[in-house]
Structure 1
Amino acid sequence: MRIRTLMLALLVSVPPMALALAQSSQEPISRGENLPRLGEIMLAKQWRHIKLWYAGKAHNWNLAAYELAQIKASLTQAAILYSGIPVSDVLILDAPIQSIDKAIQSKDNASFVKAFNDLTNGCNACHRKMGREFIEIKLPAELPFSNQLFTPPAKQ
């Protein structure tokens, strides 16, 4: 119970940071009927990771900020719902997330690319640490979203 309290305090005291959470066989804290499985949360995060990349590359900083916030929220949700995730794994993505946020705020593409690569490497480090090295995330190479524009809307 004390570690759960510490983790929740960490989540509140540090900006809602990304929590490097790999797929886990841990059972959720509560067995609610509509409780998402950890794999579902991570799959949603993976899609957000792709969308964050394309938004940043297109310099659509509003969309990039939105996708980053969604990544933070999904990781926070996973940390709260799944008690077996070590605190050190929770903190592994804090620096890359903050760097991405700073790059988005300053609209700095070079910093965004570096921070995004650091985020991707952090995801993979967590996967290895959790014994899920077979889940390896990479820089998106193909646009899977044919129904979304990533360029910022034209100013009117």
Structure 2
Amino acid sequence: MKYFALTGALFIGLILAPLAVAQQELYRPPLGDIMGKIQLRHIKLWFAGKLGNWELATYEVDEIKASLETAADLYRGIPAELVTNTADPIHAIMAAIEAKDGAAFAKGYGDLTIACNACHQGIGRSFIVIQTPTASPFTDQSFSPPKR
């Protein structure tokens, strides 16, 4: 009896395991969800840089870069040059963060915002216009550098 139970469990495992893997590979987050996440990080990046919290700014720009790469990998229909147009502003932001240069950060941030809007226009979504935020929706997070 134990033999049949073990064989049955093994059989079920052999059948269900590939199905579970296949389902995981089929999931692709909607592009709008990825972009919404980037937009939130774009806001956080602004306030972190504006207040000189360079550690948080580094984290946020790295997350934006990773999300843009994910979007480009998952959505091959987006013209590559539109996504790669964000590379120079991201590098400029990273350099400004490393130098702790607020003016260079603001310029790089503005250039990133322009690149985002150019991509939206290029894929027929010109009704999505990103701008420098005027107020933080994250009232539960401090963007000032931590006191150490």
TM-score (norm 2): 0.81
Match of 1:138 among 131, 134, 137: 131
Pairwise CA distance, 1:88: 1.1
Structure 1 residue 39 corresponds to structure 2 residue 32: yes
Asked if 1:62 is matched to 2:55, the reply is yes
Task: Note the residue ranges of structure 2 that are not aligned, 5 or more in a row.
Answer: 1-22
Distance 1:83 1:64 in 2: 29
Greater helix share, structure number: 2
Large movers: runs of 4+ above 4 Å? 30-33
How far off is 1:90 after superposition?
2.3
Partner of 1:110: 103
Deviation at 1:89, TM superposition (A): 1.3
Rounded to whole Å, the distance in 1 between the matches of 2:136 and 2:51 is 12
Paired residue type of 1:127: H
Residues 45-64 of structure 1: CA deviation (Å, up to 9, x unaligned): 00000000000011000000
Instruction: Give me the whole-angstrom Cα distance separating, in 1, the residues matched to 2:126 and 2:67.
Output: 21
Q: Which one of the candidate residues 75, 81, 89 is aligned to 2:74?
A: 81
Which one-letter code corresponds to 1:43 in the other structure?
Answer: G
Percent identity, aligned pairs only, is: 51
Over aligned residue pairs, what C-alpha RMSD do you find? 1.5
Aligned to 1:123: 116
1:73-92 deviation line (CA, Å, top 9, x unaligned): 11111111111111211211
Q: In structure 1, give the amino acid aligned to 2:39.
A: Q
**Which residue identity lines up with residue 149 of structure 1 in the other structure?**
S
What letter is aligned with 2:67? S
Deviation at 1:67, TM superposition (A): 0.2
Larger Rg: 2
Does structure 1 conserve the Cα–Cα contact (< 8 Å) formed by 2:82 and 2:118?
Answer: no
Inter-CA distance 153–31: structure 2 relative to 1 (3 Å threshold) = closer
Alignment partner of 1:48 out of 41, 49, 70: 41
Higher relative contact order, chain-length normalized (CA < 8 Å, sep 6+): 1
TM-score of the superposed pair, with normalisation by structure 1 = 0.77
Kindly indicate whether residue 92 of structure 2 is the aligned counterpart of residue 92 of structure 1: no
Determine the C-alpha separation between the residues in 2 that align with 1:136 and 1:68.
19
